[in-house]
Amino acid sequence: MEQPTLYAEPGTSWWPLLWGPVFAALGLGVEALTGSTRPTLWFLVALLLFLPTTLWVQGRRRLYAVRLTPVALHQGREELAMREVESVEGVEPRSGAKVLGGGWSVPRGTEPVPIRLTDGTVVMGWARDADALRTELAKLLITRGGQRSGPEA
């Protein structure tokens, strides 16, 4: 059953796909000003830049996406079941804490969101808007019933 999304961040936007075609259009325009045009060459340039950029964007959207549902927090390719989360407020980051998503550190351009699990360990979640993710996680923990989300947890 599909769960509603409470918070989401795409890994990246699709706008980098325009790099190749825009570069090729500029090249074609400059060549047109000089009097010689080879549109086939510039079409190939656009295509050659577009294809690897597509793979790069698709990879980043998969590896750096954040999605929170009532059942789980998805960080990149990793899923953390919400039943394992005890608290997000007042949790201090710990040196050497496992980073969700499989990296050694939180991805560049994101901020850490320390999460205390029910077994007492602390893991590092991450998001571009860490406060918004922390707020949504705390709301979810409160509405889950009986779970505390503050520092007394």
Q: For tokens 């779970």, what's the residue? A: 147
* High-pLDDT (> 70) share of the chain, %: 93
Q: What is the pLDDT of residue 153?
A: 43
Q: What is the pLDDT of residue 100?
A: 94
Q: pTM surpassing 0.85?
A: no
**pLDDT confidence bin for 1, thresholds 50/70/90:** low
Nearest Cα residue to 7 out of 144, 148, 139, 100: 139
pLDDT tens column, 120-149: 999 999 999 999 999 999 999 998 764 444
- Rounded to whole angstroms, the Cα distance separating 85 from 70 reads 12
